[in-house]
C-alpha cells in the first residue's frame, strides 16, 4: 500500500509539475550533480566514516531491502518538496526565493517529529533543491536524497554503540545531524530528571487481594529517557504494580497516573506499548497482515514497512505467524508495541527465546527508543539482562521499595565485592558470605575484601590471577532480598 502511494505521488508530480529549466540538462550531468549533492550533504553533516567491516557483515537481503525502502521514500519526498512545491514556487517568486521558501517549509515539516534536529534539513533541502534547479530533472534530486540517506545508513552500521548501564541508556561514538531515516535515528538521551511530569507514577498505592497485601504504600515512577528495571522475588508485587500503571487494575488507596491521566482513561492508553511474556497471534495471518491490523487502530501509526525493517522482519512479511519461532514472535510483538509511536513501553521478559544476535538487535531498537525520549519499564527474571539494559533499578519486596537507584547504587548498597582467583587449594578465609569453585577457579563474595585478601596473602598458599570487582546485580539482589520474602 505504501509503495503504491509513493509510486503514485512520483508519477503525479512528474505529470503536472511545471517545467524547470537548468543549465545542465543531459542525463549524465543530472546523475553526476545528484551524486555530488548527496555526497556533499553527507560530508557536511556526518562526523563519522563508513565502516567497510560493518557493511560487509550486513545481510545482503536486508541491505537491498533497506536501499529500496530509502530510495522509495526519497523519491516520494522529492516529488512533493521539489517537483511540486519548488517547481510551482519558481514560477511565482523566482529561483532563489523558491529555494529558500521550499527548503524552510521542508525543514519545518520535520520539526514536530525531530525537534531541533530538523535544522539539518535546511542544508539537505538546499542541496537537493540545487540539484533540481541545476538540471531541471526530478531524478537528480531523488538520486541526491536517496544517496544521502543510504550513506547515513551505512555510517550508522558501524558508528553506534549500545551502552545500557549505570548512567546512560544510549550513547553514540559519533553524531550525524540532519535528516536520518526514522528507524535509525539516534541521539543522546534526555536527562532522567528534567522537571517534567513522569510518564507513569504510583504514589503511596495500596492494593490487596483478600488477606494478601500485594502493594503496601508503593511509590514508583517511570521517567522519560530511562530504562527502569522493576525487580523482586516472586510475590513481590511487580505484576500488580504494572497492571495498575496500565489501567488493568484499580487501587485500593493512593494514586496512579499515566501521562498525568487516570490509567483507565481512553486518552492515556494510545501512547503506551506493551509486550507480554506470552504473546500469541492468529496462526493463519501473515506477519505483514498482523502489523497492518494493529497499526490501523492508530491515527498516526508508524508505516508497516518501517516496523518490519526496524525489527528485522522484512524477509518474514509473508510468513504465517503459526510458522514463526519463539524469537521471531518476540520481535513481532515488539513491532506491534511500537506501531502507535508510544512514549512508554512496558516489557515483560522481552528477550525470552532470543539468541545472542537477536538479543543485541532488540537492545539496539530499545536503545534508539530511549534515546528519542521514550521510557521503558522492564520486568525480568534475567538479572543479567537488567544489568545490561537498566539505567535505574527498583527492588520490590512485599509490595514495598527496598532499593531505588542505578545498578551501581544497588551493588554498593548490597555491600558485596567479588574476588576471583586461581589456587590449587583455597585456605579458610574470613568475611566470605558466598563462594563458588570450578576446579582451580574460585569466586568469593565478601563484604570486607581488604580483610579477605590480607588473610589470603598471610596464609602462604600460592594463588594467581587475583581479580577484585563489584558484585554482579544478581549477587546484590540476592543479598538484599535474602530473608525478606
Residues 226 and 273 reside in one and the same domain = yes
Question: Domain ends where: 409, 439, 468?
Answer: 409
Question: What is the average pLDDT score of the chain?
Answer: 77
Bridge partners of 409, per DSSP, are none
Does position 188 have pLDDT exceeding 60, yes or no?
A: no
Kindly indicate the confidence band of residue 328, based on its pLDDT and cuts at 50, 70 and 90: confident
Q: Are β-strands 400-405 and 227-231 bridged in parallel, bridged antiparallel, or unpaired?
A: unpaired
Q: What average pLDDT does the segment 341-357 reach?
A: 82
Does position 58 have pLDDT exceeding 60, yes or no?
A: no
Of 23-32, 116-125, 366-375, 441-450, where does the model show the most confidence?
A: 366-375
pLDDT at 425: 85
Query: Closest Cα to residue 316, out of 303, 334, 331, 301?
Result: 331
Task: Give domain status of residue 165, yes or no.
Answer: no
Query: Closest Cα to residue 388, out of 364, 421, 412?
Result: 364
Residues 360 and 255 reside in one and the same domain = yes
Q: What average pLDDT does the segment 323-337 reach?
A: 89
Q: Give the 3-state DSSP-derived string for 378-442, with helices as H, strands as E and coil as C.
A: EECCCHHHHHHHCCEEEEEECCEEEEEECHHHHHHHHCCEEEEEECCCCCCCCCEEEEEEECCEE
Q: How many domains does the chain have?
A: 3
Query: Closest Cα to residue 126, out of 153, 96, 146, 156?
Result: 96
d(CA 259, CA 140): 45
> Which residue range is the domain that position 6 belongs to?
2-160
CATH number at residue 207: 3.40.50.300
d(CA 154, CA 149): 9
d(CA 244, CA 240): 6
pLDDT at 246: 92
Task: Give domain status of residue 193, yes or no.
Answer: no
Bridge partners of 420, per DSSP, are 443, 467
Share of the chain above pLDDT 70, in %: 76
d(CA 298, CA 270): 8
Kindly indicate the confidence band of residue 438, based on its pLDDT and cuts at 50, 70 and 90: confident
pLDDT at 476: 58
What is the CA 154 to chain-centroid distance, rounded? Answer: 18
CATH number at residue 471: 3.30.70
pLDDT at 342: 93
Does position 233 have pLDDT exceeding 70, yes or no?
A: yes
**Quick one: cell of 363?**
537492545
Of the candidate ranges 117-121, 233-237, 368-372, the one whose mean pLDDT is the lowest: 117-121
Residues 142 and 261 reside in one and the same domain = no
Query: Closest Cα to residue 81, out of 108, 59, 55?
Result: 108
Q: Are β-strands 344-348 and 375-379 bridged in parallel, bridged antiparallel, or unpaired?
A: parallel
Residues 72 and 134 reside in one and the same domain = yes
pLDDT at 72: 78
Residues 374 and 420 reside in one and the same domain = no
Report DSSP state, residue 82.
Answer: I
pLDDT at 180: 31
Residues 212 and 292 reside in one and the same domain = yes
- Quick: pLDDT tens for 155-187: 655 433 332 222 222 223 333 333 333 332 333
Task: Give domain status of residue 171, yes or no.
Answer: no
Kindly indicate the confidence band of residue 480, based on its pLDDT and cuts at 50, 70 and 90: low
Kindly indicate the confidence band of residue 351, based on its pLDDT and cuts at 50, 70 and 90: confident
Residues 278 and 378 reside in one and the same domain = yes
Residues 377 and 237 reside in one and the same domain = yes
Kindly indicate the confidence band of residue 308, based on its pLDDT and cuts at 50, 70 and 90: very high
Q: What average pLDDT does the segment 199-211 reach?
A: 92
Please report the sign of the dihedral spanned by the C-alpha atoms of residue 118, residue 119, residue 124, residue 127.
Answer: positive
Residues 345 and 437 reside in one and the same domain = no
Does position 474 have pLDDT exceeding 70, yes or no?
A: no
- Quick: pLDDT tens for 127-137: 888 888 888 77
Task: Give domain status of residue 113, yes or no.
Answer: yes
**Quick one: cell of 40?**
556533499
Determine the Cα angle at 168 with ends 262 and 387, to 5°: 85
Which residue in this structure is represented by grid cell 515539516? 109
Of 243-252, 348-357, 441-450, where does the model show the most confidence?
A: 243-252
Task: Give domain status of residue 194, yes or no.
Answer: no
Does position 330 have pLDDT exceeding 90, yes or no?
A: no
pLDDT at 181: 33
Does position 267 have pLDDT exceeding 60, yes or no?
A: yes
Residue pair 327/353 in contact (Cβ under 8 Å)? The answer is yes
Task: Give domain status of residue 449, yes or no.
Answer: yes
Our CA dihedral for 63, 67, 70, 73, rounded to 10 degrees, sits at: -130
Residues 156 and 93 reside in one and the same domain = yes
For residue 42, CA distances in Å to 56, 64, 265, 351 come to 20, 20, 45, 35
d(CA 457, CA 468): 14
Query: Closest Cα to residue 152, out of 252, 274, 54, 48?
Result: 48
Residues 66 and 208 reside in one and the same domain = no
Question: Domain ends where: 392, 409, 426?
Answer: 409
Residue pair 344/374 in contact (Cβ under 8 Å)? The answer is yes
d(CA 89, CA 95): 8
**CB crowding 298-307: b at 16 or more within 10 Å, else e:** eeebbbbbbb
pLDDT at 152: 74
Q: What average pLDDT does the segment 10-14 reach?
A: 72
Task: Give domain status of residue 180, yes or no.
Answer: no
Question: Domain ends where: 374, 409, 444?
Answer: 409
pLDDT at 65: 63
Of residues 162 and 353, the one with the higher pLDDT is 353
**Quick one: cell of 198?**
513522569
Task: Give domain status of residue 243, yes or no.
Answer: yes
Residues 380 and 466 reside in one and the same domain = no
Query: Closest Cα to residue 417, out of 427, 406, 431, 407?
Result: 431
For 233, residues 6+ apart whose C-beta sits below 8 A from its C-beta are 397, 481, 485
Amino acid at each position: 500500500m505504501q509503495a503504491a502511494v509513493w509510486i503514485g505521488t512520483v508519477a503525479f508530480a512528474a505529470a503536472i509539475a511545471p517545467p524547470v529549466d537548468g543549465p545542465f540538462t543531459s542525463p549524465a550531468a543530472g546523475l553526476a550533480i545528484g551524486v555530488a549533492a548527496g555526497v556533499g550533504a553527507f560530508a557536511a553533516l556526518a562526523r563519522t566514516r563508513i565502516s567497510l567491516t560493518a557493511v560487509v557483515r550486513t545481510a545482503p537481503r536486508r541491505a537491498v531491502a533497506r536501499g529500496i525502502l530509502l530510495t522509495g521514500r526519497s523519491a516520494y519526498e522529492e516529488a512533493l518538496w521539489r517537483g511540486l512545491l519548488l517547481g510551482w514556487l519558481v514560477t511565482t517568486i523566482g529561483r532563489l526565493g523558491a529555494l529558500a521558501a521550499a527548503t524552510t517549509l521542508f525543514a519545518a515539516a520535520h520539526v514536530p517529529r525531530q525537534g531541533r534536529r530538523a535544522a539539518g534539513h535546511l542544508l539537505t533541502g538546499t542541496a537537493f533543491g540545487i540539484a533540481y534547479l541545476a538540471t531541471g530533472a526530478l531524478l537528480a534530486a531523488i538520486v541526491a536524497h536517496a544517496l544521502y540517506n543510504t550513506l547515513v545508513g551505512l555510517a550508522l552500521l558501524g558508528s553506534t554503540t549500545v551502552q545500557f548501564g549505570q548512567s546512560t541508556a544510549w550513547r553514540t561514538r559519533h553524531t550525524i545531524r540532519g535528516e536520518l531515516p526514522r528507524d535509525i535515528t539516534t541521539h543522546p538521551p534526555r536527562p532522567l530528571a528534567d522537571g517534567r511530569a513522569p510518564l507513569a507514577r504510583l504514589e503511596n498505592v495500596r492494593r490487596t487481594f483478600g488477606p494478601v497485601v500485594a502493594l503496601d504504600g508503593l511509590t514508583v515512577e517511570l521517567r522519560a529517557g530511562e530504562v527502569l528495571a522493576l525487580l523482586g522475588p516472586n510475590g513481590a508485587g511487580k505484576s500488580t504494580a504494572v497492571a495498575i500503571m496500565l489501567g488493568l487494575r484499580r487501587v485500593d488507596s493512593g494514586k496512579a497516573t499515566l501521562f498525568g491521566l487516570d490509567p483507565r482513561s481512553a486518552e492515556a492508553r494510545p501512547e503506551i506499548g506493551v509486550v507480554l511474556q506470552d504473546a500469541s497471534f492468529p496462526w493463519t495471518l501473515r506477519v505483514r497482515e498482523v502489523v497492518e491490523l494493529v497499526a490501523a487502530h492508530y491515527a498516526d501509526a508508524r508505516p508497516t514497512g518501517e516496523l518490519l525493517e526496524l525489527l528485522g522482519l522484512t524477509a518474514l512479511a509473508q510468513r504465517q505467524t503459526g510458522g514463526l519461532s519463539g524469537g521471531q514472535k518476540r520481535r513481532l510483538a515488539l513491532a506491534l508495541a511500537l506501531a502507535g509511536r508510544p512514549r512508554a513501553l512496558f516489557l515483560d521478559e522481552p528477550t525470552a527465546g532470543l539468541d545472542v544476535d537477536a538479543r543485541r538487535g532488540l537492545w539496539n531498537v530499545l536503545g534508539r527508543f530511549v534515546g528519542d525520549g521514550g521510557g521503558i519499564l522492564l520486568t525480568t527474571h534475567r538479572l543479567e539482562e537488567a544489568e545490561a539494559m537498566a539505567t535505574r533499578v527498583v527492588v520490590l519486596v512485599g509490595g514495598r521499595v527496598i532499593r531505588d537507584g542505578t545498578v551501581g547504587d544497588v551493588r554498593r548498597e548490597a555491600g558485596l565485592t567479588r574476588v576471583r582467583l586461581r589456587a590449587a587449594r583455597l585456605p579458610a578465609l574470613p568475611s566470605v558470605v558466598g563462594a563458588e569453585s570450578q576446579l582451580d577457579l574460585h569466586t568469593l563474595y565478601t563484604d570486607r575484601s581488604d580483610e579477605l585478601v590480607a588473610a589470603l596473602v598471610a596464609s602462604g598458599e600460592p594463588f594467581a590471577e587475583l581479580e577484585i570487582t563489584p558484585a554482579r546485580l544478581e549477587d546484590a539482589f540476592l543479598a538484599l532480598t535474602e530473608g525478606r520474602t
